[in-house]
Amino acid sequence: MEFNLEVPQDQFFIRSFSERGIRVNQDYFNRPFIISGQRIVPVWNVSSVDDINEESLQVVFDLQPEVVLIGTGNTQVFLPPATQVHFFRRSIGFEVMTTDAACRTYNVLAAEGRQVVAALLPLIP
């Protein structure tokens, strides 16, 4: 899906997503990565939701988000309560959704000027 947004040039926005990857500006990401309005972490060392824990989330927390979107690929997979508690302890809101929904939601929140971070697992063909 291609996005057509009138967006500030000094922020990262997701331009499209497909089985080829997630396009941010002219770059495609086909591995798990993290995006905020000001920074991209091109390699997020997780291969599935099972790998998401306090250690793998630390790079997300370091970006000091007010809300985190976790895109879990083609299907929504909820985080276990033991992982959710890391967000609660830091008073950070989070939502878990499919990656395509996370991409759309990220763009809306970023365009509103929110401190949003998306941690995205790729879509699987």
pTM, whole model, 2 decimals?
Answer: 0.91
Structural domain of 62: 14-121
* Packing angle, helices 54-62 and 81-89, rounded to 10: 30
Q: Is residue 1 part of a domain?
A: no
Q: Is residue 5 part of a domain?
A: no
Provide the CATH number for the domain around residue 72: 3.40.1230.10
Q: Is residue 79 part of a domain?
A: yes
The residues with which 27 forms a beta bridge, in sequence order, are 24
Amino acid identity, residue 33? F
Q: Is residue 71 part of a domain?
A: yes
Question: What does the alpha-carbon distance between residue 47 and residue 96 come to, in Å, rounded to a whole number?
Answer: 16
The number of residues making up the chain comes to 125
Q: What is the count of structural domains for the chain?
A: 1
Q: Is residue 87 part of a domain?
A: yes
Cα dihedral value 123, 23, 41, 48, nearest 10: 0
Q: In which band, very low, low, confident or very high, does the pLDDT at 20 lie, cut at 50, 70 and 90? A: confident
Q: Is residue 3 part of a domain?
A: no
Q: Is residue 7 part of a domain?
A: no
The residues, ordered by sequence, that sit 6+ positions from 34 with a Cβ below 8 Å of its Cβ are: 40, 41, 44, 59, 60, 63, 117, 118, 119, 120
**pLDDT average, residue stretch 2-17:** 73
Question: What does the alpha-carbon distance between residue 85 and residue 45 come to, in Å, rounded to a whole number?
Answer: 20
Give the pLDDT of residue 123: 81
Q: Is residue 6 part of a domain?
A: no
Tens of pLDDT, residue by residue over 24-61, are: 988 999 999 999 999 999 999 999 999 999 999 999 99
